[in-house]
Every structure is written in structure tokens, then in C-alpha cells.
Amino acid sequence: MGARKRIRAEKLKEARQQEYVARLRNVPTSPRKMRLVADMVRGMEVNQALDVLKFSTKEASRRVEKLLLSAIANWKEKNEDVRLEDANLYIKEIYVDSGRILKRLRPAPQGRAHRIRKRSNHVTIKVDSKLENQEN
């Protein structure tokens, strides 16, 4: 490996260590429905987002809530010396990507068939501390 490539790889590795991410893969919900929930909490503080998700009537909000708790746990794992209340965590990024699509056939009139697309998605949440951003 060349010197430039190695230096770049080391920088990316250091940046990844300061990133607190949780991913949920192959969720059997359409990405469009999941994006509605993701848009509700984007940019919010973590405690406020958890409250919004807990009292939301959408089915996808339960999964996003669990994923957010996982991202918080990942943050705690890397920051054992900092209290969660002092950190002032917020949702830095949340995005929903389309996952695999299962194609099924549904019988239709006159011997035809209609294709049914059962969609799935991948959700990624990144949390960050507002205190770290102010220092930098």
C-alpha cells in the first residue's frame, strides 16, 4: 500500500472512531413509510426524539426507537467517562435506503397475473454530541 493511501486510510479510521452509528437492515416495511418516521425525528435531541417515537402511532416508529437506543448504547460504549445527560446528544443523520424487493405473483382476472413488490429498507442513524461540535 502506498503512503498516501495508508495515510488516507488512517484518517478515515480515526474519523470512524468518533462516529456513533447504528444500522437496521432488511426491515420488511416500505422505505416510503419508514422515511415518514425518519423525517419526524431528524435533527432532534435524543430524549425528545425518543418521546416522539414512543407516542407515535406508526408501526415503523417502534423499530426506529429501538435503533436509536442502540445508537445511544454505541455512544456510551465509546464515551465511558462522559455522562449521557451532560453530552447533549442529538440525531446528526438519519436516512432510509431501499433494501431488497421480493417479487410475488397475484392472480388476476382472465388468467393473468399481477406482480406484487414486497419492499424492504435499511435505516442508518448517526448520533453526535453538541458539546464536541462547540469545542471544534
Residue 122 has pLDDT above 90, yes or no: yes
C-alpha cell at 54: 414512543
Instruction: Give the number of other Cβ atoms within 10 Å of residue 70's Cβ.
Output: 15
pLDDT tens, 13-59? Answer: 988 888 899 999 999 999 999 999 999 999 999 999 999 999 999 99
- Residue 127 and residue 68: Cα distance in Å, rounded? 8
Instruction: Give the number of other Cβ atoms within 10 Å of residue 19's Cβ.
Output: 14
3-state helix, strand, coil in the chain (%, to 5): 50, 30, 20
Instruction: Give the number of other Cβ atoms within 10 Å of residue 88's Cβ.
Output: 16
- Residue 24 and residue 64: Cα distance in Å, rounded? 9
Instruction: Give the number of other Cβ atoms within 10 Å of residue 123's Cβ.
Output: 25
pLDDT tens, 64-116? Answer: 999 999 999 999 998 888 888 888 999 999 999 999 999 999 999 999 999 99
Cβ contact 78:17 at 8 Å: yes
- Cell numbers 408501526: residue: 59
Residues 6+ apart with CB under 8 A from 73: none
